Structure 1
Amino acid sequence: MAMSLMGGAAHAASTIDNAALSNDADGTNWAANGRTFSETHFSPLKQITTQNVGQLGLVWALDFDDVWNMATMPVEVDGVVYVAAGYSVIHAVDVRSGQLLWKYDPKVGEKKMRMAWGIRGLTYWNGKIYAGVQDGRLFALDAKTGTLVWETQTTEPDDNRYITGAPRVWRGSDGRARVIIGHGGADFGHVRAYVTTYDAETGQPIWRWWMVPGNPADGFENKAMEMAAKTWTGEWWKYGGGGTAWNAMTYDPKYNRVYIGTGNGSPWNAKLRSPGGGDNLFLCSVVALDADTGEYVWHYQTTPGESWDFNSTMDITLATIKIDDAQGCASAAGAGCAGAAGAPRDVILHAPKNGFFYVIDRATGKLISAEKLGKVTWAKYVDLKTGRPVENPGVRYEDGEALTFPGSAGLHNWPPMSYSPDTGLVYIPAHEMAGYYNDKGRDPKTWTMTPDDVMGLRGFFDDVPKNAGSASLLAWNPVTQKKAWEEPVPGANNGGVLATAGGLVFQGQSDGKFVAHDAQTGKIVWRFDMGVGSMGAPISYEVDGRQYITVPAGWAGGQMLLGSLSAQHGWVGRDHPRRLLTFAIGGDARLPPTPPPSQVTPIDGPSFQLDPALAEKGKLVYNRCVICHGVSAVAGGYAPDLRASQIPLSTAAFTAVVRDGALMSRGMPKFAELSDEEIIELQHYIRDRARYRPTTWEKIKTAWHFIGLMIKMKLKAWGW
C-alpha cells in the first residue's frame, strides 16, 4: 500500500523513453539501473571534479527505520530520488529537501521473508516506477503518488523462485513498451529458470524465454532449448537445472536485442546434475535475444559445465571501443571488425564471478579477449580460438574436495562496476576469497535433492575468519586487458561503483566510508564517514543546475552470512542505521546520531546443560538460519547474533519466536515446520557455538588442511 507523506513542488516532467535512455551525453537524470541502456554506471556531469571535490559535503541524510537492507541502487528523475529498500519498499524522496514524499510497501509474502537478499534496484519509465518483490510479483507505481498501477505474479505460488533484481524497460520496434524481469532461487531447490517480458502499460505477458531445457519427453519450447538439451546428460530436469537470471539484463537499441546474464546450475555439483558431462547450456552465459520476440540470436558461455556457482549475472555493459590488437579482430573471425586493427567495435564488457574479464562482440557474440582480473586457479586461461577456459586438474573436486580461487562469492559479484569513456577504464569492486567444495558421499546413482542438500555438496559449518578474504577497487583497461591501478579497500566486500566526467570514482566501503578516487591514478581525494557500511551503488544527477551524488548505506546483503569475515567492521544487528545520503558542492548538513561500531559478546548461559549429540543434530537444522544469522551462528551484521541473545536460553521464548512468529513484525520469519525436537536441537547448537573457543591446534589443523589442498592442486596442474 502507498503512503503519501507530503506534497512536492510541481516541475516539468521529463520524458523517459528509448530516446532518453539512449542518450549517454545527458546526465540530468538517472532513470534506469545503469543510468542508460549502455549500463555504464557513468555520469557525464563534471561540476564535481578532482579540483573541487574537497568542497563536497552532505546535503541531507534520511534514515529508514522500518527496513533492514539498503544493498540497492536508487534512480532519480526530475528532482525525486526513488529507492527500493528491504522487501521492495519503494521510497520517493525530494532531492531539494531530503523529505519523504511517499512510500509503497508491497507486503512480501511470509515464506519469502526468509530470503535475506533484499531488492537490488528498480527503474523508471513513462511516469511509472517498476520493481519486483521477493515473492515473485512485478508491479508498476505512479511515480507522482506511489499508487499501484498494475501488478502481476511472475512465478508459481510457493515455488523456490524469488526476485531481487531490477527490471528493465524499453519500447520495441512495434511501438509496445516492454518490461523484463528474471528471478533467483537456484540455490534453494528445484528451479528451471526463465525471463519474462510484460506490457509496460498493462502488465500483460508478451514472451517468456527459458534458460535451460526441460524434460525432453515434454517437447521443447523452441529450437534453442532443443539445441541446449544436447549439452545435458542424465535426468537434469528432476532438479530444475538452474540458470537463474537474477541481476544482469541489458537492452541494446542498435541491434534491438536484450542480453541476459545467466546463473549457476541447480544443483551446483555438475556430476549430480549432468553425470555424463556436457556444457549445460545456457548456464553461466551471456545470451542475446530478439527484443521484440524473445527469439534466440547468439550466446557466449563463460563457464561450460559449471560446478562452482560461477554466475554470469554480473554487469553487462555496452561500449564501442577500438581494439588495437589485430589478433583480437581475428579471434572474432573478422565479424564486425571492419577488417582493420584499431577499428571501433561494438562490444559487451563483462566481469562475471569466475575471475576473468571478457570483451565480447555484440554483433556476433564471438569472444574478442578474456584475461584474469586477479587470483584465478580453477582455469589456466581462456583459449581465444575456442572461447573455452582451459581448466586446471582437480578443480571439479574429482577426489571429493577442492579449494579454488575465486570461490562462490566470485572475484566480482553483483555490486556494479563502472565504465568511463573518458579514461577508457572499467572500475570493478573486486574481492579475493577461496572456495571450498566437497561432495563426499554423493553418488549420482543414488543422490536426490532434498531441502538439506540442494547444492549436492557437503555443508560448510565453520566460522569464516576475518582474514579469509580481501577486497579492492580495480581499474582495468578492456583494450589491453591489463590492470591500470588497484587500491585495497577494507574487509572482503565493497559497494558498487560510480565514475564521473569530473575524473572521479565513487564507492561506499564496508568500513562505513564513502570515498572518491582519482579516476586516473586511484588516489583517494575525498572521504566521508556514513556511520555504517555499504554495499549499495551511488548515482549522480543534476537538479536546478546543481550536481548531486546519492548513495544508500546499511550493512546487509548476501555477503552478511560469512561469520567473522562479515562481522569484523562492528555493524551489529539492528543497532546501526539504514540510510540514504545525498551530497553536493557546498553541502553542510550533519548526520543524525549514529552508534559507533561494536563487537558481540556471546552469552555463556552456565545453567544450560549442553548435549553435544543434540548440538550436532542442530547444526543441520541451523542451515535454515545461516543466510540471516551467519555461518557457525556468528552474525555478519544483519540479523541479531544468536550467541548473544537471551531468547535461545528459554525453550518457550525460542519456540514463540522461531516457530510461532512472535517477532515477524521485526522481520523474523516463522518456521512452522520445525518440530519440538528440532527447536531443542537448535538451542543446543547455538549454546555450543556461544561457548566455542578454537584451540591453537585446531587452527593449525584447519590451516594445513587448506594449504595441503592448494599444494595438491598445484601438483596436478604441473602434471605430477
Structure 2
Amino acid sequence: MRLGVAVLAGAAAIAAFAAGSSPPAGALPVPGRDWAGFGGPAEQHYSPLDQIDEGNVGRLGLVWSHDIDGGPNAASAPVAVDGVVYFAVGYSVIHAVDAATGKLLWRYDPQAPQRAGRKMRSAWGIRGIAYAQGRIFTGTIDGRLIALDAKTGALAWSVQTIDPGDAAYITGAPWIAGNKVVIGFGGGDFGPVRGRVTAYDIASGKEAWRFYTVPGDPAKPDHAASDPVMAMAAKTWDKGSWRWGGGGTVWNAMAYDAKLDRIYIGTGNGTPWNRKIRSPGGGDNLFLCAIIALDAKTGRYIWHYQVNPGETWDYNAAMDIELAELDIGGRMRSVILHAPKNGFFYVIDRLTGKLISAEKFVPVNWATRIDTASGRPVETPWARFPGGKPVVIFPSPVGAHSAEAMAYSPRTRLAYIPANDQARVYLDAPDLPAWGFKPGQVINNGIGAAPPGMVLPPGKSALLAWDPVAQKAAWRVPQTGQRTGGITATGGDLIFQGQANGQLTAFAARTGKPLWRFDTQNGVQAQPITYMAGNRQYLTVMASWRAMGPSGRVPEYDYYTTRRRVLTFSLGGKAVLPPPAPVTPIADDPAFRVDPALAAAGKGLFAAHCAICHGPAGNSGGAAPDLRRAGAPLNLEAFTSVLHDGLLVERGMPRFEDLSPAEIAGLQHYIRQQARTALAAGGSPQAAARIAQEARRLHADQ
C-alpha cells in the first residue's frame, strides 16, 4: 500500500499549520485518510488510497445503508474525518454517523424551509458540506452559513451571508481556505442578483473579506469608483446594466491552492442570460463565466480568465476547478483543469491565469476553437442567434459538463468527466424590447421558447477519460440517460461513479473497463467519497436522483416508494438491501371531469412553476413527487392547502400564496389530464417515448 505517503503529507500539513498559528480544536483531516471537503484531499476529487484496487474490487460489498428522511434532495457529497461520515440531506439537514457501522451520532436541522419563503421555488437543497478545525460547515437555502461542532452537532455560529429579501440562495458547498471558510450563492436566474463570495473566520464566524464578481450601483459603497477591479469590470458593461443585478454568481465549485494560498472561484451566467437585454451595447461583461484567482487571506484580486466573454447561453464556469502539476513541453506547470458547460477542456496556468490549451471534448457549434494567443473563443456566425431567430446550439444550458463532479488522477494523468451531449434552440424572447423581472416569475432569461415542431433529439451522456496534455480522449464509456453522476478517482487505479440507472460502478482508470457494479435501487448523481476508518478503506455515496429520469420510461424513480439512501462499502461487505417496493399507481377518480380549457391554462402554469421540481409534463425524476400519482390533486381543497397555504413546507414543498383559485384549479385539471394520458398509454414504449419527447420540448434545459 502507498498509504504511508499520504500520512506523511498529512503530518507535513499539520506542521505547516502549527508554524503559522496555534493548533485548532478537533481532529485535523489527514490527506489520504480523510475526505474533508467537496474537492477531496487535493482539489482533484482523487484519493491516494489503494486498499481497494483493480485486483480485489470484485470483493467490494455493502457494509451498511442509512435510509434518508429529510426532504427531497439527497445528491450531496459527504465528508469523512477521523472515522465519522457527515452528510447533508434535503435543505441542509446535517447527519453524523459512525463510518464503520452507520450508527447515527447526531442530527442537526437548521429549519431552512420555514425561513426560505420564495427562495424554495428555485433551489433543490445542498450539494456539499465541509470540515475544518473540529467543525462542520453548511450553507442554507435561506442564505445562512452555519458552523456546527463536529462531535456534538451543537451550533457554533451562524451568519446571514445574503439578503433574505432577494432571489439569492445557497446550494453549493462552503470552501475551506486556510483559516477561512468561503461561501458563494446562486439565484441569478430568478431575480436581480449580483454575484459575490464572502470569507469568514473559521473560529469566530466574523467576516474577513468580500469580493463582488460583477459591477453594482456606482452610487453605493460596495461599488466604489476607487476600486480598480470594479472599475475595470464596469468598462465591459453598459452603464445602468447593474439594475438587472448582473449575475455571475458563485453557485458551485471553487478550489483552494495551498501552494500559493489562493482561492479560485468559478462564476456563473449573466442575469438575464441574453446579453441583448443585460448589456445591449455588447462588451465582455466581466466577470461572468470566469475563473478568478483571489488571495485567500485578503480577498485581493490576482487574475481572471473568462471562459465566455459576453456570455449569453447560460454557460457557466462554475464547474469543477481541478488543481494539477503537469509536464507540458518538458517543464512542470502548476495548472487548473476545467471542463465547463461550453464544451471545451481548458488547461490554465495557476500562477498567471494564462491559457495553455483548450479543445472540444463534446460536439460544439457555438465556437470553432479557442485562440491560444488571446485566450478568446472564435465564435461561429450563428452563435448569438443574429436577428433573434431560432438557432440550434450545442451544448445546451445543461452543459457539456454540469454540476456533477469530475476528477483527476495524478497516477494515470487523466481527467474523468461526466460528459453530456445535447443541444438547445436559442432565440430572442418575444418581450425583448420591454423585458423586465415580473412579479411571480420563475425564470425569465430573455430566451424564447422553441417554435412548434422544432424538437431536438434526446441528449446523451458518457464517462469520458481525457488526456489534458495531449488534449484528446483516452477512452469513453456511453451511459444511460441525458445526465450521469459525479466521479471519484483512487490510488487503486479505479474510477467510482453512479449513474441514472441506479448502478454504482467501478471502472479501470486506464481503460474504462467496468470491474464491479452495485444496484443502489435509485439513480446516483452525487460523487462517491473514499476514506479510512481504522485500518479499513470505505466508499460512501448518496443514492438519490434529482434530474429527469434515466430513460424514456414512465414512471421513473417513484418519490413515494423509492428509498433515498446513504450507502457504504468495503472489501468483504455482506449487507444487502431489501427488495424495492412496488411503484405507486397513477391516481384517478373516474367521477372527475377534466375541463380542457382549465387544463390548457394549467399547462403553462405547470411549466412555469412546477416543472423545475416535478418534471416536465409531470415526468418527475424521483426527488419530488410525480403529481399524477399524488392524492392531493384529486381534491381541490387538499390541493389548495398544499399550494396556497403551505401545508408541506417542512417537507420541501414551497408555498404559492400568490396563485388564485382559478390558477390552482387550472393546475389541478392539467395534472388530472396528464394522469389520464398516462393511464391511457398503459406504459407502452411508444406512448412513453411520446410523453418524454413532449417533456423535453416543454422544458429542455431542466
TM over 0.5: yes
Q: How far is 1:592 from its partner?
A: 3.5
Aligned partner of 1:628 in structure 2 is 613
Change (3 A) 1:663 1:370: same
Q: How far is 1:394 from its partner?
A: 1.8
Aligned partner of 1:666 in structure 2 is 651
Alignment of 1:166 onto 2:173: yes
Aligned partner of 1:408 in structure 2 is 397
Alignment of 1:145 onto 2:152: yes
For 1:577 and 1:302, how far apart are their aligned partners in 2? 39
Alignment of 1:43 onto 2:47: yes
Where do residues 60-459 of structure 1 align in structure 2 (5 Å cutoff)? 60-108=64-112, 109-111=115-117, 112-171=119-178, 177-218=179-220, 220-221=223-224, 222-323=227-328, 341-398=329-386, 399-444=388-433, 446-450=434-438, 451-452=440-441, 454-459=444-449
Matched residues, number: 662
For 1:145 and 1:499, how far apart are their aligned partners in 2? 31
> What is the DSSP-based 3-state SS (H/G/I as helix, E as strand, rest coil) of the residue aligned with 2:486?
strand
Aligned partner of 1:532 in structure 2 is 522
> What is the DSSP-based 3-state SS (H/G/I as helix, E as strand, rest coil) of the residue aligned with 1:31?
coil
Q: Which one-letter code corresponds to 1:584 in the other structure?
A: S
Structure 2 counterpart of 1:639, from 624, 627, 639: 624
For 1:551 and 1:383, how far apart are their aligned partners in 2? 39
> What is the DSSP-based 3-state SS (H/G/I as helix, E as strand, rest coil) of the residue aligned with 2:485?
strand
Change (3 A) 1:26 1:193: closer
For 1:414 and 1:24, how far apart are their aligned partners in 2? 25
Contact 2:72 2:651 in 1 (8 A): no
Q: Which one-letter code corresponds to 1:105 in the other structure?
A: D
Q: How far is 1:35 from its partner?
A: 1.7
Contact 2:138 2:174 in 1 (8 A): yes
Contact 1:463 1:631 in 2 (8 A): no
Moved more, 517-526 or 250-259: 250-259
Q: How far is 1:255 from its partner?
A: 1.7
Q: String of CA shifts for 1:650-705, please: whole Å, max 9, x gaps.
A: 32222111101223343322211111222122223334444558999x979x99x9
Q: Which one-letter code corresponds to 1:88 in the other structure?
A: S
Alignment of 1:508 onto 2:512: no
What runs of 5+ residues in structure 2 fail to find an aligned partner? Answer: 1-9, 20-27, 698-702
Contact 1:355 1:372 in 2 (8 A): yes
Contact 2:323 2:336 in 1 (8 A): yes
Contact 1:67 1:578 in 2 (8 A): no
Contact 2:177 2:263 in 1 (8 A): no
Aligned partner of 1:482 in structure 2 is 472
> What is the DSSP-based 3-state SS (H/G/I as helix, E as strand, rest coil) of the residue aligned with 1:644?
coil
For 1:576 and 1:20, how far apart are their aligned partners in 2? 45
Contact 1:43 1:499 in 2 (8 A): yes
Q: Which one-letter code corresponds to 2:160 in the other structure?
A: Q
Moved more, 148-157 or 232-241: 232-241
Q: How far is 1:605 from its partner?
A: 5.1
For 1:299 and 1:637, how far apart are their aligned partners in 2? 39
Q: Which one-letter code corresponds to 2:384 in the other structure?
A: R
Q: String of CA shifts for 1:214-269, please: whole Å, max 9, x gaps.
A: 12344734211111111112532111110010111111122221110000000011
Q: How far is 1:116 from its partner?
A: 4.3
Moved more, 608-617 or 209-218: 608-617
Structure 2 counterpart of 1:610, from 585, 588, 595: 595
Structure 2 counterpart of 1:517, from 507, 523, 532: 507
Structure 2 counterpart of 1:551, from 534, 538, 541: 541
For 1:600 and 1:460, how far apart are their aligned partners in 2? 33
Q: Which one-letter code corresponds to 1:389 in the other structure?
A: P
Contact 1:463 1:564 in 2 (8 A): no
Q: How far is 1:291 from its partner?
A: 1.3
For 2:88 and 2:13, how far apart are their aligned partners in 1? 19
Contact 1:241 1:266 in 2 (8 A): yes
> What is the DSSP-based 3-state SS (H/G/I as helix, E as strand, rest coil) of the residue aligned with 2:58?
helix
Change (3 A) 1:569 1:517: farther
Contact 2:282 2:310 in 1 (8 A): yes
Q: String of CA shifts for 1:431-490, please: whole Å, max 9, x gaps.
A: 11112223242334x222224353112357999999611111000000000000000111
Alignment of 1:586 onto 2:572: yes
Contact 2:406 2:416 in 1 (8 A): yes
Moved more, 654-663 or 254-263: 654-663
Q: String of CA shifts for 1:85-105, please: whole Å, max 9, x gaps.
A: 110011101012111111111
Q: How far is 1:18 from its partner?
A: 8.8
What runs of 5+ residues in structure 1 fail to find an aligned partner? Answer: 1-12, 172-176, 324-340, 707-720
For 2:585 and 2:123, how far apart are their aligned partners in 1? 21
Q: How far is 1:157 from its partner?
A: 1.7
Provide the identity percentage: 50
Q: String of CA shifts for 1:562-587, please: whole Å, max 9, x gaps.
A: x7858667211232111111111111
For 1:321 and 1:24, how far apart are their aligned partners in 2? 26
Where do residues 686-697 of structure 1 align in structure 2 (5 Å cutoff)? 686-691=671-676
For 1:17 and 1:615, how far apart are their aligned partners in 2? 63
TM-score (norm 1): 0.86
Q: How far is 1:272 from its partner?
A: 0.7
Aligned partner of 1:572 in structure 2 is 558
Change (3 A) 1:599 1:441: same
For 1:503 and 1:378, how far apart are their aligned partners in 2? 36
Contact 2:127 2:172 in 1 (8 A): yes
